[in-house]
Chain A
Amino acid sequence: DGGITQSPKYLFRKEGQNVTLSCEQNLNHDAMYWYRQDPGQGLRLIYYSQIVNDFQKGDIAEGYSVSREKKESFPLTVTSAQKNPTAFYLCASSMEGTSPLHFGNGTRLTVT
């Protein structure tokens, strides 16, 4: 079955630690995205990548970093510089152009 896999489902970290969230897709999609979701808010774009070895900042990129070394993979690192990292993180992918985004099932990160 084709799809987007995010792991782990739940992640707990101490404040001051960097943490990397995994996102893998086997849909052969060119573009991949990371969104953050907080209660009562819509999804906010962190980073996106339209092609391997290239990515752009979204609306809330500060405190995050990404890499796109392979078409299938787009890991997100939440750094200690992110002031409020506790949130639900969603990865998505799409073909080029105007095709809709397809989402993974998310990773809930809790930082204490």
Chain B
Amino acid sequence: GQQLNQSPQSMFIQEGEDVSMNCTSSSIFNTWLWYKQDPGEGPVLLIALYKAGELTSNGRLTAQFGITRKDSFLNISASIPSDVGIYFCAGQLGGATNKLIFGTGTLLAVQP
């Protein structure tokens, strides 16, 4: 199955630092989604992007849908300990199936 290239694989930062992660693909997507997963729980949707070039914020989180429609990034500003978790990007190919292709995840650890 197809998977997106997500980087970095892991990040270990100090509280208050800004964080940036991105996903790239060889395929064009109609939608980009960013999820956060806490240990032992299901992913929770953070931000959804529907148009190339779109820049969307959700509190301290900002995500952008790349102009080429093959990439997306997520920034977290002023990180706090509860930001700890695994962040996944997901691209949607569109059409009738609504199938998502997931990135391999970025593990974020925040030291107080």
List the A side residues contacting B103 at CB < 8 Å: 42
Contact status B42-A90, CB under 8 Å: yes
B53 smallest CB distance to A (angstroms): 17
Bound CA–CA A92/B43 (angstroms):
10
Contact status B97-A105, CB under 8 Å: no
B3 smallest CB distance to A (angstroms): 5
Bound CA–CA A35/B35 (angstroms):
14
Of A42, A98, A99, A101, which contacts B104 at CB under 8 A? A42
Bound CA–CA A35/B48 (angstroms):
20
Contact status A42-B31, CB under 8 Å: no
List the B side residues contacting A35 at CB < 8 Å: 102
Instruction: Please tell me the number of chain A residues within 8 Å of chain B, measured between CB atoms.
Output: 31
Bound CA–CA A6/B40 (angstroms):
13
Instruction: Please tell me the number of chain B residues within 8 Å of chain A, measured between CB atoms.
Output: 30
A50 beta carbon closer than 8 Å to chain B: yes
Contact status A58-B1, CB under 8 Å: yes
A100 beta carbon closer than 8 Å to chain B: yes
Contact status A43-B102, CB under 8 Å: yes
Name which residue of chain A comes closest to B48, CB basis. A100
Bound CA–CA A92/B97 (angstroms):
14
Contact status B104-A40, CB under 8 Å: yes
Contact status A103-B43, CB under 8 Å: yes
Contact status B42-A98, CB under 8 Å: no
List the B side residues contacting A104 at CB < 8 Å: 42
Contact status A45-B99, CB under 8 Å: yes
Q: Which 8 A-B pairs have the closest CB atoms?
A: A59-B1, A103-B42, A42-B102, A43-B102, A42-B104, A105-B42, A103-B43, A100-B48
Question: Could you list 24 examples of A-B contacts with CB < 8 Å?
Answer: A31-B98, A35-B102, A40-B105, A41-B105, A42-B3, A42-B88, A42-B102, A42-B104, A42-B105, A43-B88, A43-B90, A48-B97, A48-B99, A56-B97, A59-B1, A90-B42, A90-B43, A92-B42, A98-B31, A98-B98, A100-B31, A100-B33, A102-B45, A108-B40
